[in-house]
Amino acid sequence: MDKIPTNSAALLNNMYRKIFPQVNKEVSYWERRANEIPDNELRNQALASIQSKRFHCQGGSVFSMLAGDSWKKAIKFIVAYQTISDYLDNLCDRSTSMDPADFRLLHDAMKDALSMESVPKNYYRLRENQEDGGYLLELVSTCQEVMRDLLDYSAVKSRLIQLEEMYTDLQVHKHVVIEDRVPRLTSWYERYKEEVPDLSWYEFSAAAGSTLGIFCIISYALGGKLSMNLVDRIYQSYFPYMQCLHILLDYFIDQQEDDEEGDLNFCFYYPNETIMRKRFLYVMQEAASSIKGLPDQKFHQMIYQGLIGLYLTDSKVNQLKNGEVLTNLLLDHSGRSAKIFYWNIKMYNRWKK
């Protein structure tokens, strides 16, 4: 990999020439493996998660540019870990189970994937559908294989697990029976309220639901550039605001789909659209401020702007009655590079079709 990009042209060049082709290779492998899953329900959910959420892997893999010569290893980890995340989210969203113990056991896969010493197990033990042909175990083992190459594992483990545990708690609470979801989420939020006093329970939940901090830490570690101090700075720079922005954008584009499916969507909890717009702008402002002073600051600023550009190009935005208004508002407040990413990705998506 060339040196870490400091402008949008160099970043986009690396994305199209190196990152996306490598991501496509990794995703294609997991898609073939998903097709081999014996159980119909597990196979359908694995394939659906790959086909509808491939761009999660593409976006997350931009962090691989921080890994230097180990960028392919970073992509291998990011694609596998994000595939676990998206697959389990589908399993819980469309679950035949409403058991929080089942959801937590499933998400043990994400913790084990970050722990070299963990022994993968039967994550489906508490549910009826179990025969996945070793798909989930292989995803976990692939992540562990990359983790074993980290020189700074002891420095990164505690922060990685901290981010993963918040992610898992969120997935458990948001997928239980409908009447228990908000009470569980608000009670959980009370434990963290002093750390995030300016965020509502649903904005904190959004911050917990992102994998960006994990991908950033892993990529720096693979590049051999990590210290305990830098791990803490990355954690504080990405959690809560960058991660909150990431997931709010994700939920924003999914509003119509989630409404039709009866899924929990954090955008629905804003009292009105005016307040939602103001809060989006506030989170954007805090996210932009929180990454100042990080090493490779220009790269992290482009991650921030690229998030906005990437999500707002999704075709689902066109189906929303407030889609065009919020798109223009966010692009106007996020800087010139966000608009460059937005129009460039839009043209790339048209070219792919």
In the chain, the N- to C-terminal Cα span, in Å, equals: 28
* DSSP conformation class of 163: H
Q: Is the pLDDT of residue 106 over 80?
A: yes
For the chain, which residues make up each domain, given as ranges? 8-352
Alpha helices in the chain (DSSP H): 8-14, 20-35, 40-60, 71-93, 100-113, 135-147, 153-175, 178-192, 201-208, 212-222, 228-237, 243-253, 255-261, 273-290, 297-312, 323-334, 336-352
Residue range 43-66: average pLDDT? 93
Q: Would you state the pLDDT for residue 353?
A: 62
Q: What is the pLDDT of residues 177-186, one digit of tens each?
A: 999 999 999 9
Place of tokens 């305990």: 228
Q: What is the pLDDT of residues 161-214, one digit of tens each?
A: 999 999 999 999 999 999 999 999 999 999 999 999 999 999 999 999 999 999
Q: Is the pLDDT of residue 113 over 80?
A: yes
Place of tokens 């931009």: 62
What is the C-alpha to C-alpha distance for residues 200 and 160, in angstroms, rounded to an integer? 24
Q: Helices 212-222 and 243-253, interaxial angle, to 10°?
A: 130
What is the C-alpha to C-alpha distance for residues 249 and 280, in angstroms, rounded to an integer? 9
% of the chain surpassing 90 pLDDT: 73
Q: Is the pLDDT of residue 66 over 90?
A: yes
Domain 8-352 falls under CATH 1.10.150: no
Q: What is the pTM of this model?
A: 0.95
3-state secondary structure of 267: helix
